[in-house]
Amino acid sequence: MSLWGGYALRRFGGLLLSLSLLIVVTFFIVPLIPGDPAVAVAGADATREQRDAIREQLGLNDPLSLQFVHYITGIFTGQLGDSFAYGESVMNIILTKMPFTLELALFGILITLAISVPLGMIVGVATQGGRRRWLDVVFGMLTGLFQSIPQFVTATFLVVIFAITLRLLPAAGATSLSSLILPLVALSLGPICSIARVVRRETATVLEQDYIRTAKGNRLGSLRLYARHALPNLLTTTLTLSGLILAGMLGGAIIIETVFSWPGLGREVVTAIAYKDYPVIQGVILVLGLIAILINLLIDVILGVIDPRTLGGTHANG
C-alpha cells in the first residue's frame, strides 16, 4: 500500500473516532448545565403544570437513551431539532450565523500564520549563535506577555483604546469591513505570539543542522537557503503544534464574538446557554468541533505534502 493510502486509512479511522467522541460529548455534557429549560421557556412565573407540559412538548421527559437516539438520527439526517427559545430550526440558525464565524476564524488563521512564521524565522536567524541577545530577550518577554493575556482582556483594552478613546474603529457589530479589525486583532494576537515562539525555537534548531552548514558552504542565497532548506523542516513541528493552537482559536472566537457583539456562532451559543436552549448549544458545539477536526486534518495533509516522511508517522531532519 502507498504512503498516502496507509495515511488515508489511519486518518479516516482517527476522524471517525474524533467524530464519535464529539457527538457523545456534545450530547451528554449539555444536560449538566444548571437550570431547567422548561423554566427558561415558560418564564419564572409559570405554574408547575405549565412547566411539565413544556417539558413533555420538548421531549425532556423521554429517557436519556431515547433522546440520544433522536440526536444521532437528527445528525445523520441533517435535522438538529428546533430551538427551545425561538422554535426555529437549529440548522437554519447555524447556516445563518456560520458565515460570520468562518469569516472571523479563517481571516484570523491566515493572519496568524502569515505573521507568526516569518516573525519567528526572522528572530531565529537574527539571534543565531547567540547574536543580538537583546533581541532574543525582548522577543521572549513580549511574546510571553501577550500570549498569557486572556483574550477577553485584550478585547476589552482594544475597545477602550481604539473605539472609545481614539474613536478610530467601531466597538461592536459587523456593519463594515472596519468592524472586523478589532475582533481579528484580539483573536490573533495570542496565537501569533505562541506560534512565533515555536518557530523561533525550531529555526534555531534547524540552523544548527549539518545540511544547513553545507548549504551555507555552497554559498546559496539567503532566500533559497531559508525558504527551500530551512522552512520545510521547521514547519513539520511548527504546524503540528499550530494545528492545536489554531483549532483552539475557535474557542476564543466564542469570547471575542460576545465582546464585540459579532453575530456568529460563538455569540449564539452564549445566548443559548443563558436560555438553556439544548438543541442550539449541541448543534453549535458540534459544528465548531467539526471545524476544529477539519483544521487539524488540513494541517496533517499540508505536512504530508511538505514532508512525505510524516505520512508514515516518522520525521527526521535533513
The CATH architecture that domain 92-312 belongs to is Orthogonal Bundle (1.10)
Q: In the chain, what are the domain boundaries?
A: 25-79, 92-312
> Under a CB-based contact definition with an 8 Å cutoff, are residues 82 and 39 in contact?
no
The pTM of the full predicted model, rounded to 2 decimals, is 0.77
pLDDT tier at 213 (50, 70, 90 boundaries)? low
Q: How far apart are CA 176 and CA 100, in angstroms?
A: 12
Q: How far apart are CA 198 and CA 200, in angstroms?
A: 5
Half-sphere exposure of 310 (CA within 13 A, CB side): 19
pLDDT tier at 315 (50, 70, 90 boundaries)? very low
> Under a CB-based contact definition with an 8 Å cutoff, are residues 309 and 316 in contact?
yes
List the single range of 42-46, 114-118, 271-275, 306-310 with lowest mean pLDDT. Answer: 306-310
Task: Classify burial at 316, counting beta carbons within 10 Å of its beta carbon; exposed 0-12, middle 13-18, buried 19 or more.
Answer: exposed
Burial 108-132 (b: 16+ CB within 10 A, else e): bbebbbebbbebbbbbbbebeeeee
